[in-house]
Amino acid sequence: MSNPLPARTIELVKSTVPALSARGSDITTVMYGKLFQDDHIRALFNHSNQGDNGSQVHALSGALIAYAQNIDKLDALVPVVERIAHKHIGYHILPEHYDYVARALLAAIEEVLAPDITQEVLEAWGEAYWFLADILINREADIRTTLENSKGGWNGWRKFKITAKQPESDVITSFTLSPVDGLPVLAHRPGQYLTLRLKLEDGRTIKRNYSISCAPNNDHYRISVKLEPNGQGGSRFLHETAQIGDVIDLTPPAGDFFLPDEPERPVVLLSAGVGLTPMVSMAETIGAHYPDIETYYVHGALNSRTHAMDKHVRQVAKQHGKMFVATFYSDPTNDDLCGKTHDQDGYISPDWLSANTPFHNADFFLCGPKPFLRTMVYALAKRGVKTDRIHYEFFGPTDENIAA
């Protein structure tokens, strides 16, 4: 990624790193407050991640700091640009929305850093913002073109009907989503997610991302959703209110976390909790199309009450022949028996992975809660797994320091 920004602009933006490090979350909190004064912009966002303590506030603060630090070596930002572009596709963010963000961000920087901020620095940040915005807009245009030109592809929101609702455990339920128009759907890349637009009973409209839990096909999608009793409505609506026949709006599959089109090495699918959803999509895909790929499906759950899709995954593994399944229960019930309902008591450990998987020869794909990812990504890298073979996804705003 070339950098045509003037040297003076780069210098001024980098000079704000200490202030951003100290007040970054204050800036992003003020920014979102200004941004959400406009109802149609507010409606674009997933508000479960917003607010003073929302993870998006801190994630954006971290992204601003990373941009300021790396503005003279933008190749370091390529993965971040790709991830943000896919999120914008999911939420149907369009080029005309960027101006609203620019005004809110620059006003927040000026307000929070006053009286120490100068007009020259503000102008430098404005130039830097639009430089990055243009990169994102162009990348998003490329993604949209590819989606629209692919079989079953579309742009924006499309209506899907719930055609099956299947409990998978006490806390996870699967939903099959089929297009209302009866036309083909885009075959997703295993690991990608959908963005749903849900109209709740109280009149609110919310947006939520859910990983696709089936192999790619041109007929339907399946999502497997964990009930979050204290959440802001998405999972509770799906579990408690949504019924077969209900119609939901979706944007096309998105996300930069997915199984390669042609896996070249053994694969370890490593997950915890509802993080199994993209792994099931990958396992089904490997089972159907890659008979020679040695695969290890390793999953951690509390117990059999919360563990979803175990029989299904084991059937996929049996049919494949070179797929091995290991499950860990950290809090087994009195009815759970190691060796029968699950394979190991406790938590997945780097020692176990090192002893039971092709540790230094495999590609690792990870998904789960942030504490799980922090532990496992760091442990894999520390034990010598090459960083380009560690691929991870988690639910919520991206934490670029997950491996720190």
Catalytic residue among 110, 140, 284, 393: 140
Query: Three-state SS across 309-371?
Result: CHHHHHHHHHHHCCEEEEEEECCCCCCCCECCCECEECCCCHHHHHHHCCCCCCEEEEECCHH
Three-state DSSP class for 205? Answer: strand
Quickly tell me which residue has 């942030």 as its tokens. Answer: 370
Cis peptide before 115 (omega within 30 of 0): yes
d(CA 368, CA 370): 7
Q: How far apart are CA 119 and CA 110, in angstroms?
A: 9
Catalytic residue among 98, 210, 329, 392: 98
- Report yes or no: 314 and 325 within 8 Å, Cβ to Cβ: yes
Q: Which two tokens stand for residue 161?
A: 């009907």
Please state, in angstroms and rounded to a whole number, the distance separating the CA atoms of residues 282 and 260.
Answer: 10
State the pLDDT at residue 317.
Answer: 98
pLDDT at residue 403, as a whole number: 40
**Amino acid (one-letter) located at 192:** Q
Q: Look up 140 and say whether it is catalytic.
A: yes
The one-letter code for the residue type at 239 is H
| CA–CA–CA angle 305, 222, 287 (5° rounding) | 85
E strand or H helix that includes residue 209 = strand 205-211
Distance of alpha carbon 83 from alpha carbon 161, whole angstroms: 28
pLDDT, averaged per 10 consecutive residues of the chain (404 residues), comes to 82 95 94 92 76 70 91 85 92 94 96 94 96 95 95 97 98 98 97 95 90 98 93 87 97 96 96 97 98 98 98 98 98 96 97 96 96 95 95 65 41
Q: Does residue 120 have an active-site annotation?
A: no
Cis peptide before 4, with omega less than 30 degrees from 0?
Answer: no
Please tell me the distance from the alpha carbon of residue 270 to that of residue 298, in angstroms, as a whole number: 5
φ, ψ dihedrals at 7, nearest 5°: -60, -35
